[in-house]
Amino acid sequence: MVGVVSLITGRAGPSGFGSASTAEKVTQGIDASNLTAIITGGASGIGLETARVLALRKVHVIIAARNMEACKKAKKLILDQNQSARIDILKLDLASVKSVRVFVDNFIALDLPLNILINNAGVMFCPFQLSQDGIEMQFATNHIGHFLLTNLLLDKMKQTAKASGIEGRIVNLSSVAHNYTYLKGIRFDKINNRTGYCDKKAYGQSKLANILHSNELARRLQEEGVNITANSVHPGVIMTPLMRHSSFLMHLLKVFTFYIWKNVPQGAATTCYAALHPRVKGVSGEYFEDCNEHKPSSYARNQVLATKLWDFSNTVINSLSRT
């Protein structure tokens, strides 16, 4: 109940920020000119706002997205507002393992450091379909693609953290929808089955996977003694292009729940807070809502499930590498 009141009123939590805070507000006064960040899905919605605000704080931003025309427009929009912004764009289709590998090769070829990885891109509530790799589309795009991308970029992030002495940060965008998933959380043995498919539960499953990925990655990084953190965030309920498969339903829902919806600058706030704010230094394996730590579902806190998902994801990727 306290969380609902805070959401409606915008009342600040322990961090000093709340649901009404914007991305610019939570990063005000931060000079991040020595940082480089990759933002997936940074060409539209809260990804674009995240890219804009990070560039405003002098981060060298690489926008990674599937639609290069949208990327070019996003870059122009940011540069029109901020001529000194450092923005690069690279093509990335998270539903394709091959595309993820090509993206990483292209990024490494730029010979840039990497301090921040924001796994922002996603699809939502789409009808049943398989990716070109034969994986259910929401699980492929929202989890498997980001899982592989993160693993392939980890060495670069470790090198950067060691050479610079600056903490690396990985931010996975999850959702409160992780609470609404299949029985047992992840249906490992039926991940690609049309039978029993529910677009809402499949989305919730992928968002649960984002939190489990962050938590297991955080545990492994801490065990290794690496100066990199991994956290997950719920941006809030925002009308963005992500909802293109259910726009009528979402607009109808918004009529009756208008008081909990955020605008895009507010929606990008928690991501920017987790990526840049000094208060989050050393914090890892946590789930954030409205720029404050929150307790996710019991499935999301299940260490056994997190380890099982990690192993399952590696098995899926390895099987694709052999085909």
Per-residue pLDDT tens digits for 5-32 = 444 446 899 999 999 999 999 999 999 9
How many C-beta atoms surround the C-beta of residue 105 within 10 A? 10
**Three-state DSSP string of 35-65:** CEEEEECCCCHHHHHHHHHHHHCCCEEEEEE
DSSP conformational letter for 275: H
- Provide the annotated active-site residues: 197
241 falls in which pLDDT band (50, 70, 90)? Answer: low
Q: What is the mean pLDDT of the chain?
A: 92
Would you state the pLDDT for residue 323?
A: 60
> What is the per-residue pLDDT across 58-78, written as a single tens digit (0 to 9) for each?
999 999 999 999 999 999 999
Name the percent of the chain lying above pLDDT 70: 89
**122's tokens:** 């996603």
Would you state the pLDDT for residue 8?
A: 47
User: Helix, strand or coil for residue 288?
Assistant: strand
User: What stretch of H or E contains 262?
Assistant: strand 261-262
238 falls in which pLDDT band (50, 70, 90)? Answer: confident
Is residue 128 within 8 Å of 194, Cβ to Cβ?
yes
- Based on its alpha-carbon atoms, the radius of gyration of the chain, rounded to whole angstroms, reads 18
Would you state the pLDDT for residue 11?
A: 82
Would you state the pLDDT for residue 76?
A: 98
Q: What is the mean pLDDT of residues 116-144?
A: 97
For the four alpha carbons of 9, 12, 18 and 22, in that order, the dihedral sign comes to positive
Lowest mean pLDDT among 95-99, 140-144, 192-196, 246-250: 246-250
Asked if residue 158 has pLDDT above 80, the reply is: yes
Would you state the pLDDT for residue 212?
A: 98
